[in-house]
């Protein structure tokens, strides 16, 4: 069996691996490149001719893992896409959103060029449209955790809990050829142990080769006080002062985690009963998907849902799907909590809430996720006295807080813990899905601690999997 690294090689996004054995081709993930410097790769032709790919295995619904699948379908892929049921439902939300954003970007660019009297050397085109997304979702086949499925002749895949987002999977792929057999374990994106909602990452017994993400291969997440307590404290203080709590949040997983923590706090009487506005159609859709798939949650979350406690907390939660509902938050008198996207404040409704709250010393902006450098979120978090939103400068007088420890990604210790779960070293470990310096540093760490053969592959590098 051969593996070709089509993305997430010495950078983070664009996860995609092409497996070939006995003339059959299987893709594991086919994600979008999101770092500016490598975005052009999204426009390259499919890795192998799209028609020649027999099947796709999808580890989870994040855009950097599924974002180019509709393009593959547009280019002629006609095989099945295997994923868990929550991954299929979440991928539909993520891909529809992506098609919409691409269309908006193209329109925006066309108008700007028109205004400036320029013409673009490139056609005003999107990678794919809503119709390609629909045809992609139609190709998806649900797989359960623990189940082995034949994805293509000679290829078998087994999905298990990865603990990253709902439905995320670690996948073991087995390829048979001329009486011999090779196995590769794909970590997908690994979560931390003891995250709310999802279970813990599954340890894999053995494999000939392992392909693992290394996003946080150089550090561990800080977690001093538990998250629910941190949230309760901030809300109590802010409400006492008469301000609003504004939480920029990612629509999938983080929004549901924060909602769960807020619900527990409200029901436990640890914070005052103020309205919680969920101002994000995408997060509302994702929350509905979560509630449809309790079987993919950990025991505690399942019990919370079964007990009816969440329904009891729902009386504080106001869902804002339409623009009118979103604007109506401005009419609310008295303190409230506002969850809105995007998670790094780069777009979306959160910007309006920031405009209204940044200048108020009694309000709090609470970060619950990673803020990449260059984003508005990062500027606020770093303590800039003023920031630009919608072309205007705004003073930052609100409290700026960050809740530590919330990450859907395994930290360095978690990554090592997952590797130690193998009963014998694989022939080779490939580290992907990390900034180059981070993956290289983690490779060194694994060599020192476990004495494994570790490779950090290059973009488009090809390797044979040996036994
Ligand atoms: Zn992910």
Residue found by looking up tokens 């990865």 in the block: 162
Strand partners, 173: 157, 184
pLDDT, residue 108, reads 85
Pairing relationship of beta strands 364-367 and 148-152 according to DSSP bridges: unpaired
| Same-domain status, 89 and 164 | yes
Which residues, 6+ apart, have CB-to-CB distance to 204 below 8 Å? 160, 170, 172, 185, 210, 421, 422
Q: Is the peptide bond before 342 cis (omega within 30 degrees of 0)?
A: yes
Question: How far does residue 6's CA lie from ligand 1's centre (Å)?
Answer: 17
pLDDT band at 184 (very low <50, low <70, confident <90, very high): very high
Region 386-411: mean pLDDT is 93
C-alpha–C-alpha distance, residues 243 and 336, integer Å = 8
pLDDT band at 346 (very low <50, low <70, confident <90, very high): confident
| Same-domain status, 391 and 437 | no
E-state strands within 101-238 = 140-142, 148-152, 155-161, 169-177, 180-186, 209-213
Question: How far does residue 60's CA lie from ligand 1's centre (Å)?
Answer: 7
**pLDDT single digits (tens) 217-270:** 999 987 667 889 999 999 999 999 999 999 999 999 999 999 999 999 999 999
- Closest of 166, 158, 164, 163 to residue 186, by C-alpha: 158
C-alpha–C-alpha distance, residues 54 and 104, integer Å = 33
C-alpha–C-alpha distance, residues 58 and 30, integer Å = 8
Q: 268: domain CATH number?
A: 3.40.50.10890
Distances (CA, A) of 172 to 204, 228, 331: 8, 35, 52
Distances (CA, A) of 255 to 329, 380, 446: 18, 20, 34
**pLDDT single digits (tens) 193-204:** 999 899 999 999
Choose one of 402, 429, 453: the last residue of a domain: 402
Region 332-349: mean pLDDT is 94
| Same-domain status, 413 and 395 | no
| Same-domain status, 96 and 168 | yes
pLDDT band at 117 (very low <50, low <70, confident <90, very high): confident
Choose one of 402, 433, 455: the last residue of a domain: 402
pLDDT band at 91 (very low <50, low <70, confident <90, very high): very high
Residue found by looking up tokens 């900034």 in the block: 435
122 secondary structure, DSSP code? S
| Same-domain status, 163 and 20 | yes
Overall number of domains in the chain: 2
Model-wide pTM > 0.75 = yes
Q: 86: domain CATH number?
A: 3.60.15.10
Question: How far does residue 283's CA lie from ligand 1's centre (Å)?
Answer: 16
DSSP H or E stretch at residue 56: strand 55-57
107 secondary structure, DSSP code? H
Question: How far does residue 164's CA lie from ligand 1's centre (Å)?
Answer: 7
Question: How far does residue 123's CA lie from ligand 1's centre (Å)?
Answer: 31
Question: How far does residue 189's CA lie from ligand 1's centre (Å)?
Answer: 5
Q: Which domain holds residue 440?
A: 2-219+408-464
Side-by-side strand order, sheet with 337-340: 317-319, 276-279, 337-340, 245-248, 364-367, 399-402
E-state strands within 296-336 = 317-319
pLDDT, residue 78, reads 96
Contact 51, 110 (CB under 8 A): no
Question: How far does residue 65's CA lie from ligand 1's centre (Å)?
Answer: 7
**pLDDT single digits (tens) 267-316:** 999 999 999 999 999 999 999 999 999 999 999 999 988 998 888 889 99
Question: How far does residue 428's CA lie from ligand 1's centre (Å)?
Answer: 23
Phi–psi pair at 82, nearest 5 degrees? -95, 130
Question: How far does residue 374's CA lie from ligand 1's centre (Å)?
Answer: 21
pLDDT, residue 373, reads 81
Give SS3 for 245.
strand
Question: How far does residue 126's CA lie from ligand 1's centre (Å)?
Answer: 23
Question: How far does residue 445's CA lie from ligand 1's centre (Å)?
Answer: 23
């Amino acid at each position: 069996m051969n593996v070709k690294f089509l993305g997430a090689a010495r950078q983070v996004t664009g996860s995609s691996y092409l497996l070939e054995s006995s003339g059959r081709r299987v893709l594991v993930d086919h994600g979008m490149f999101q770092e500016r410097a490598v975005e052009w790769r999204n426009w390259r032709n499919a890795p192998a001719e799209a028609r020649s790919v027999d099947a796709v295995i999808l580890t989870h619904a994040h855009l950097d893992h599924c974002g180019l699948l509709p393009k593959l379908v547009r280019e002629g892929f006609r095989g099945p896409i295997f994923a868990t049921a929550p991954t299929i439902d979440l991928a539909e939300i993520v891909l529809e959103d992506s098609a919409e954003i691409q269309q908006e970007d193209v329109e925006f660019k066309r108008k700007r060029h028109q205004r400036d009297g320029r013409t673009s050397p490139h056609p005003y085109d999107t990678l794919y449209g809503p119709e390609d997304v629909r045809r992609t979702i139609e190709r998806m086949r649900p797989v359960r955790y623990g189940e082995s499925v034949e994805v293509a002749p000679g290829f078998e895949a087994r999905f298990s809990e990865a603990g990253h987002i709902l439905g995320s999977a670690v996948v073991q792929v087995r390829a048979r050829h001329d009486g011999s057999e090779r196995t590769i374990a794909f970590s997908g994106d690994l979560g931390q142990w003891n995250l709310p909602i999802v279970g813990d990452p599954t340890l894999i017994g053995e494999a000939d080769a392992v392909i693992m993400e290394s996003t946080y291969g150089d550090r561990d997440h800080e977690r001093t006080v538990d998250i629910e307590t941190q949230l309760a404290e901030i809300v109590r203080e802010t409400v006492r002062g008469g301000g609003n709590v504004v939480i920029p949040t990612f629509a999938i997983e983080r929004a549901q985690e924060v909602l769960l923590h807020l619900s527990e706090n409200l029901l436990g009487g640890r914070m005052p009963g103020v309205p919680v506005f969920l101002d994000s159609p995408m997060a509302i859709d994702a929350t509905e998907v979560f509630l449809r798939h309790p079987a993919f949650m950990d025991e505690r979350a399942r019990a919370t849902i079964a007990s009816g406690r969440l329904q009891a907390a729902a009386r504080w939660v106001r869902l804002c799907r339409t623009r009118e509902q979103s604007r109506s938050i401005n009419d609310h008198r008295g303190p409230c909590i506002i969850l809105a996207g995007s998670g790094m404040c780069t777009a979306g409704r959160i910007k309006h809430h920031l405009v209204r709250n940044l200048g108020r010393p009694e309000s709090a902006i609470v970060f619950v996720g990673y803020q990449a450098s260059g984003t508005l979120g990062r500027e606020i978090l770093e303590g800039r006295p003023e920031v630009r939103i919608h072309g205007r400068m705004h003073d930052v007088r609100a409290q700026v807080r960050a809740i530590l420890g919330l990450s859907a990604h395994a930290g360095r210790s978690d990554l090592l813990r997952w590797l130690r779960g193998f009963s014998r070293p694989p022939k080779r470990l490939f580290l992907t899905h990390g900034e180059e310096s981070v993956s290289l540093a983690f490779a060194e760490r694994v060599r020192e601690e476990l004495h494994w053969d570790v490779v950090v592959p290059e973009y488009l590098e090809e390797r044979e999997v040996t036994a």
